[in-house]
Amino acid sequence: MYDLLNEGKVVLLEVSATWCQPCWAYHNGHALQNYYTAHGPDGDDKARVFFIEGDPQTNPECLLGPSGCNGFTFGNWLNGTTYPYLDNAALSDSFDVTYYPTIYMICPNRKVYQVGQLSAEKLWERSLGCPVASGTNNAGIFNVDLGTELYEICDTLSVKPAFSIINLGANALTSASVSLTWNDDLQQSLYWTGNLPLYGEAFITFDSLQLSGAGILKTTISSINGGQGDDDYSNNVHNNSFSQAAAFNSQKIILKIKTDNFGAETYWQLLDEWGGVLYHGGNENVGPNGGGTFGEVDPGPGTYASNALINKTLELPGYGCYSIRFVDAYGDGICCNYGNGYYRLYGYNNPAVPILTGGEFEAIDHRGFILSDPSAETTPVEQVADFRVFPNPAGNVLTAAYSLQTSAPVTIQIVNTLGQVVYTVETEQVSAGDHEMALPLSDLPGGIYFIRLEAGLRVFSRTFLKEN
């Protein structure tokens, strides 16, 4: 194995048992065989796969079928399998395997990852995240963490980008210039110094950044080792794409779920923009933090049956930003390896056309959406260039900041979730330019509120939380 890793190969281990039904189903889905065909010695020669029969109680004949097997087997495991196999329980024990099948990915830098029962395409996508050394001066961006699960922006989204810079060259990595851009506009830049040997890594963190609208956040290593050119630029750039969140115009929404063959693995939450749980469902033994554990999970309160259809009508408390978060205990989503599960969100006024759909993910799928105020225009128009409220959550005072491109009559109102106006700043003619107004909140109970800015014939709406 070390010879293979030294050659820059990614190694996958499929640890199974001949009596294991999920192992047989995954093996006969041919994910690893397809991966090996594409990336093994007869493909692009960038990876290897090994099958390990890990149960010490079964004899090698069990791999070939029932004849001669001293236990139970589902059939001939080697039929159509062109990658090597090992009947070796000691290998299974050395990895502390506790259930079958267990799939490991070992990168050339000797790091081992448990990846779950992924498709060939997903396995290759994971493999591309492995650092592979080449050349003399070479650095790459890996393990990017933006500090958010959401990639759909409702109003604004706070991110705190961080990543590992890894030396992939024969020379030590001593310096690097790194930039962060949003839609090609430079946001931050930094200069890192250190001394990393081959496969050495350092963790780099940018300052927090507010994103709005749709776009691409790009991290780039522009130079290394005092201006030396990089021998491989393919891993010097990392892009994260963000989209505008889908919008509902109905305060009631319909959630439809179809579970896969393992309904007990599913748990979900519907959250407000501050992370408060408004609704939840599914197996509470999985819970919000139980994704990607890869093992079996016990059915708990709320557990859904397998291949079941669930319909929920949910009422949102008011206009603003929300998100729905699905968790899969094993880490293979609810579609498509083991059943064709899905989730779909509909507006109550149009239950035929989903506004948000999902199901093909790994451990967690977190999606943002908006409940729009039908009388509000959230896109800046001719008169209003910007409208912000802060701090959020707010204490006893909330500041409303806005910019007018032309003079206009302005009214500001605070509305509770029942639609009642609880505070008003009377209409007055306001000149073009930047303006701020402090709004007293001490008389308001804690909770979610909406602030409306009427400028001329247009209405803009923002949501805020008043702390108790």
Q: Residue 277: phi, psi to the nearest 5?
A: -85, 115
pLDDT reported for residue 389: 87
| For residues 1-18, average pLDDT | 95
Which residue shows structure tokens 């290897």? Answer: 48
% of the chain exceeding 90 in pLDDT: 71
Report d(CA 242, CA 381) in Å as an integer.
23
pLDDT band, very low/low/confident/very high, at 368 (cuts 50, 70, 90) = very high
User: Architecture of 139-244 per CATH?
Assistant: Sandwich (2.60)
Report d(CA 88, CA 16) in Å as an integer.
11
pLDDT reported for residue 96: 87
Residue range 425-447, pLDDT digits in tens: 887 788 888 899 999 999 999 88
* Cβ partners under 8 Å of residue 198, min gap 6: 133, 167, 168, 169, 170
pLDDT band, very low/low/confident/very high, at 239 (cuts 50, 70, 90) = very high
* Cβ partners under 8 Å of residue 455, min gap 6: 383, 384, 402, 404, 408, 409, 410, 430
| For residues 8-24, average pLDDT | 95
Averaged pLDDT score across all residues of the chain = 91
Q: Residue 366: phi, psi to the nearest 5?
A: -125, 115
What's CA 82's distance to the chain center, in Å?
34
Report d(CA 131, CA 39) in Å as an integer.
16
Please report, for the chain, the start and end positions of each structural domain, with discontinuous segments joined by +: 2-127, 139-244, 247-371, 384-466
Q: How many CB atoms lie within 10 A of CB 156?
A: 12
Report d(CA 294, CA 328) in Å as an integer.
9
Report d(CA 155, CA 369) in Å as an integer.
10
pLDDT reported for residue 382: 44
Nearest to 320 by CA among 235, 415, 210: 415
The neighbouring-strand residues paired with 217 are 182, 240
Report d(CA 333, CA 1) in Å as an integer.
31
Report d(CA 82, CA 84) in Å as an integer.
7
Asked if residues 112 and 105 have their Cβ atoms less than 8 Å apart, the reply is yes
- By mean pLDDT, which of 168-172, 198-202, 282-286, 392-396 is the weakest? 392-396
pLDDT band, very low/low/confident/very high, at 334 (cuts 50, 70, 90) = very high
Q: Flag whether pLDDT at 129 surpasses 60.
A: yes
pLDDT band, very low/low/confident/very high, at 383 (cuts 50, 70, 90) = low
What's CA 103's distance to the chain center, in Å?
21
H or E, element range at 449 = strand 447-455
Residue range 274-298, pLDDT digits in tens: 888 999 999 999 999 998 887 778 9
- By mean pLDDT, which of 33-42, 56-65, 454-463 is the weakest? 454-463
Nearest to 193 by CA among 171, 225, 227, 237: 225
User: Residue 13 carries which side chain, given as an amino acid letter?
Assistant: L
Enter the CATH code of domain 2-127. Answer: 3.40.30.10
Going by their DSSP bridges, the two strands 384-390 and 309-315 should be labelled as unpaired
pLDDT band, very low/low/confident/very high, at 381 (cuts 50, 70, 90) = very low
| For residues 158-162, average pLDDT | 96
Report d(CA 360, CA 120) in Å as an integer.
14
More reliable by pLDDT, 296 or 93: 93
140 to 122, 168, 178, 223: CA distances (angstroms): 21, 7, 11, 11
Query: One fold for both 2-127 and 384-466?
Result: no
pLDDT band, very low/low/confident/very high, at 312 (cuts 50, 70, 90) = very high
pLDDT reported for residue 366: 97
pLDDT band, very low/low/confident/very high, at 380 (cuts 50, 70, 90) = very low
> Class assignment of domain 247-371?
mainly beta
> Class assignment of domain 384-466?
mainly beta
